[in-house]
Structure 1
Amino acid sequence: MHDSTLEDISTREQLLARVAWLYYERDLTQAEIGARLGLSRITVNRLLKEARQSGIVEIRIRPISTDLPLVEALLQRYPLQDAWLVPAMDQTGEELAQSLAQMAAMVLAQRLQEGWTVGIGVSRTISYIPDFLVLEKPLACRFVTLMGGLYFRPVEVTHNFDVLTRLAVLTGGEAYYLPLPTFVSEPATRDHLLADPLIQRSLDVARQANVAIFSVGTVDQSALLYQVGLLGEEDLNELRVYQAVGDVLGYFFDRRGQLVPAGIHQRLLGISLSDLQRIPLKMLAAGGQPKRPAVKAALSSGLVDVLVTDTATAHWLCDAEEV
């Protein structure tokens, strides 16, 4: 579990410091800050007042904002609208996943609007978001899966059906499911399932998403898709031949952010990459050393608008060689 002070610093105070830094140090107007962070001008004004009252803004912004130049470096290096960082603090595994989910939940809460549709990926990190999402009022949003799920789950992973239901309850909204595994055994099976009108109905809702939230997977035996039996050794070997480094929603990319020509994509159930590209706001929440190549590939693919990661991964992304 986290120290409560670290949790406070990684969420609300980071938001206050970010708004204050953009206003006082970068000389952005309140309207410009609102457009960048997905906030109304009135909300920006309120956050600036709160930053002053809380002592974050004095003569200078408190040292909590020292990572903000790192955010700017990420925005210059990659085609991102914004990035949010959590302290590395030697966090790994479940602890890091919870920190990333907490930050992603805060960013989502700040941007979420009445009646929006939110597409959700399948991952350990994303499964924690309902634990941290806090809204000022119900927004009657729709939550929908962007891909098939897990036909069984390790005990430490929340099923995507549970995640959608909890998010719908939290927002006073609705949940739409794709009751299928991420991968099936044969391309013909996939084609047959995708022709079903009920399945197309769920996918059509996903295609209408205003925001998509997802993580990345690795290409090894630690990958969630491998651990639940949706990827086998033969699949991993083929992906390694193509030098894949990770996946976004079951689509595998090489280190340059190019989709690899693996046969597994012909067995994937979910929205297409072109569908994903058309979603207005795409948020990636991922970090930790094992996932760094996959995060970089996702950023290089152009499929990410907002990145939530840890500071150590952010430094690595900025220092990584161009390909």
Structure 2
Amino acid sequence: MTKTQNNEHLSKESFLERISRMYYVLEMSQQEICEQLNIGRSSVARFLSEARERGIVQFQIRSDLDGCRHTDLESQLMKRFKMKDCVIFRSDESGTSFEVLASQYLNSILPTHGSIGLGWGKTLHAVGTQMHLCDPRPGLKVIQLSGGSGAKEELVPAATVIQLWAQSLRCRPILLPAPAIAVNVEVKNSFLQDPSIQEIVSEIKKIDAAVVGIGHTGEDATIITSNLVPGLGSQALSASSVGDLIFHFYNEKGVFSEPSLSSRVVGATPEEFQQIELRIGVAHGVSKKKAIQGALQGQLIHVLITTEETARELLATE
């Protein structure tokens, strides 16, 4: 019996376990495995990936945050939604704020060089106040993903978030000196003609990771309370959408649902945002349940950082 025929007699799970042990335990190279099992090297990589997806291979990385994270809930959410990671902080960890814990996790995952894109708002500003706990990253650039709030900066921090994170990480801030949402597409295009803004837009296309808040469509949604779009109300917005990422609104399936509004956003387009290799969403609160679900359903974010209370709400919905 040839090696290939022998592999066919193994159950799929046993076969995946065998390859996984050869690679992770015996430390054989993919080339050695393909030679021993008489399969293509590309097949080895595919089987290893499938083993991780099926849970045959599970990684455990020791961290100072282990005692603060609710791993059972994380596993349940990871199983329900396809994510690279899920971070749920326990509600019984009194004395350590969500913002401190979030900054400690981000310190372990954000790149030290290259660039990261930031959304804005109160959640990211709050986390930013604790980013000084992270390691300095002088080789990193922090880029504003969408324009600012202008005179409303005190109410809805935009540029302040970029400056705060950059100062804490000892890195270079890159601000986008334009409104988040232009009056119309023509006005937006006029902003994009400016050479300095063109340079920032070019930087956005090269971002390695993004950290964003997740907005919702209730009466207290940022876009409504700040009157960024005069006349826009919660009822009209909720009719088509459940949440937004940098003012690109999407429905319960995570499909972008307000193209006319998105076309006026000065900054990363929905397509450019989705091309970023690592997209981290930071959000918590019962009011954001549907918004978070939609973002996860559409795989708009790869990593979710949230609280135990919010995670239980997410899991309560079938």
TM-score with structure 1 setting the length? 0.72
Say if 1:218 and 1:294, in contact at 8 Å, map to a contact too.
yes
Q: Determine the C-alpha separation between the residues in 1 that align with 2:257 and 2:279.
A: 21
* 1:174 and 2:172 correspond: yes
Determine the structure 2 residue equivalent to 1:125: 123
Determine the structure 1 residue equivalent to 2:192: 194
Q: Determine the C-alpha separation between the residues in 1 that align with 2:110 and 2:313.
A: 30
Q: Determine the C-alpha separation between the residues in 1 that align with 2:155 and 2:90.
A: 23
SS of 1:271's equivalent in the other structure is coil
Q: Which amino acid aligns with 2:205?
A: R
CA separation of 1:273 and 1:66: change in aligned 2, threshold 3 A: closer
Aligned residues: 263
* 1:274 and 2:281 correspond: no
Say if 1:253 and 1:259, in contact at 8 Å, map to a contact too.
yes
Radius of gyration: which is bigger?
Answer: 2
CA separation of 1:100 and 1:296: change in aligned 2, threshold 3 A: farther
* Structure 1 residue 237 displacement after superposition: 4.5
Q: Which amino acid aligns with 1:162?
A: T
* 1:164 and 2:167 correspond: no
Q: Determine the C-alpha separation between the residues in 1 that align with 2:107 and 2:213.
A: 18
Say if 1:79 and 1:302, in contact at 8 Å, map to a contact too.
yes
Q: Determine the C-alpha separation between the residues in 1 that align with 2:69 and 2:175.
A: 41
Residues 25-83 of structure 1: CA distance to partner in whole angstroms, max 9, x if unpaired? xxx98x99xxx9xxxxxxx98x57x79xxxx8xxxxxxx47821110111111111111
Residues 268-300 of structure 1: CA distance to partner in whole angstroms, max 9, x if unpaired? 111012211121211100010111100111111
Which of 290, 302, 306 does residue 287 from structure 2 map onto? 290
Determine the structure 1 residue equivalent to 2:13: none
Which of 112, 115, 137 does residue 113 from structure 2 map onto? 115
CA separation of 1:85 and 1:186: change in aligned 2, threshold 3 A: same
Q: Determine the C-alpha separation between the residues in 2 that align with 1:143 and 1:65.
A: 28
SS of 2:183's equivalent in the other structure is coil
Contiguous gaps of at least 5 residues in structure 2: 1-23, 28-47, 53-59
SS of 1:110's equivalent in the other structure is helix
Q: Which amino acid aligns with 1:75?
A: M
Determine the structure 1 residue equivalent to 2:223: 225
Say if 2:117 and 2:142, in contact at 8 Å, map to a contact too.
yes
CA separation of 1:273 and 1:303: change in aligned 2, threshold 3 A: same
Q: Determine the C-alpha separation between the residues in 1 that align with 2:297 and 2:149.
A: 27
Residues 68-113 of structure 1: CA distance to partner in whole angstroms, max 9, x if unpaired? 1110111111111111112346x9xxxxxx9443333112211233
Q: Determine the C-alpha separation between the residues in 1 that align with 2:172 and 2:148.
A: 18
Q: Determine the C-alpha separation between the residues in 2 that align with 1:99 and 1:146.
A: 26
Residues 120-160 of structure 1: CA distance to partner in whole angstroms, max 9, x if unpaired? 00111001222212234444310011111111337465x32
Which of 251, 254, 269 does residue 257 from structure 1 map onto? 254
Residue pairs, 1:1-323, within 5 angstroms: 47=62, 64=67, 67-88=70-91, 99-133=97-131, 134-153=133-152, 155=154, 157=156, 159-234=157-232, 236-242=234-240, 244-321=241-318
Q: Determine the C-alpha separation between the residues in 1 that align with 2:87 and 2:197.
A: 34
CA separation of 1:262 and 1:233: change in aligned 2, threshold 3 A: farther
CA separation of 1:208 and 1:101: change in aligned 2, threshold 3 A: farther
Q: Determine the C-alpha separation between the residues in 1 that align with 2:128 and 2:188.
A: 30
RMSD: 3.1
Say if 2:252 and 2:293, in contact at 8 Å, map to a contact too.
yes
SS of 2:274's equivalent in the other structure is helix
Residues 201-224 of structure 1: CA distance to partner in whole angstroms, max 9, x if unpaired? 112212211110001112132011
TM-score with structure 2 setting the length? 0.73
CA separation of 1:232 and 1:284: change in aligned 2, threshold 3 A: same
Q: Determine the C-alpha separation between the residues in 2 that align with 1:171 and 1:230.
A: 30
Say if 2:117 and 2:144, in contact at 8 Å, map to a contact too.
yes
Determine the structure 2 residue equivalent to 1:5: none
Q: Determine the C-alpha separation between the residues in 2 that align with 1:81 and 1:107.
A: 14
CA separation of 1:67 and 1:191: change in aligned 2, threshold 3 A: same
Q: Determine the C-alpha separation between the residues in 2 that align with 1:274 and 1:266.
A: 12
Residues 174-228 of structure 1: CA distance to partner in whole angstroms, max 9, x if unpaired? 1101111211111211122223222121122122111100011121320112222
